[in-house]
Structure 1
Amino acid sequence: MPEFFHDKRLYYTPIEFALSHIGGTWKMPILWRLQEKPQRFSELKKDIPHITDKMLTSQLRELESKDLISREVFPVVPPKVEYRLTEKGRRAIPIIETIMKYGYDLIKEAGIEYPPKEI
């Protein structure tokens, strides 16, 4: 596969390029949660409890810069902001679903109890 540059970065494969858009710990969970309806920052934070405010802000900005989500600011006091999937973001959902199913298969094959029992 030929390598290519985009935004001053060298990519070796289309897979690497795609993962730069949706890869990492938090981007796919954020996209997954936005597939049903737009959500506010606080709703996403509540639904993804282990993410810090700083990381959620950072990931939302990255997803918006890649045109995977849109951010709508409503002119009210206090300010209201909603995040929603764009068409480009919606196209990522079947890929995320496939990766999630593969992860479940790997967990099962490893003999891991999932979800774990409450203590």
Structure 2
Amino acid sequence: MEIKNEVNYGCPIEYTMNLIAGKWKLVILWHLSQEKVMRYGEIKKSLNNITHKMLSQQLKELEADGFIHREAYSQIPPKVEYSLTRSGESLIPILESMSKWGKNHLKEK
């Protein structure tokens, strides 16, 4: 099955990696899968050493690709919440497998 998109990908893995590539994207998705809804500050606290610029960029890309939903509330002080979309939730089994593999691999080291 050939995937049609703006770019011609060699295989489905290449297409998937293009969407989730980024040092922090999978970690952001993992934290959202655990907490369901998180505010920007909560996400930032859960990630070690991420800059404001990088977090903002990664969140914007995840939202543009349909993996997360951004809900902005018009109130003072401003409130923004992030959650997984159905597409983002579909990655949870993959993230769980990666977490399990990481735990097992760390034990071996």
TM range (shorter): 0.7 to 0.9
Aligned residues: 108
Which stretches in structure 2 are left out of the alignment for 5+ residues? none
Instruction: Choose between structure 1 and 2 for higher RCO, CA contacts under 8 A separated by at least 6 residues.
Output: 2
Measured after TM superposition, the shift of residue 42 of structure 1 is: 0.7
Structure 1 residue runs of 4 or more that deviate by more than 4 Å after TM superposition: none
Q: What code does the residue aligned with 2:64 have?
A: S
Corresponding residue number in structure 2 for 1:81: 80
Tell me whether 1:23 sits opposite 2:6 in the alignment. Answer: no
Q: Rg bigger for which structure?
A: 1
Residues in 2 aligned to 1:68 and 1:87: alpha-carbon distance in whole angstroms: 7
Q: TM-score, normalised by structure 1?
A: 0.80
Runs of 5+ in structure 1 lacking a partner? Answer: 112-119
Alignment partner for residue 13 of structure 1, among 11, 14, 20? 11
Aligned AA for 2:50? I
Per residue, is there more helix in 1 or in 2? 2
Correspondence list, 1:21-100, <5 A: 21-35=19-33, 36-100=35-99
Q: 1:10-53 deviations in whole A, cap 9, x for unaligned?
A: 31110111122223321111011112321111110011121111
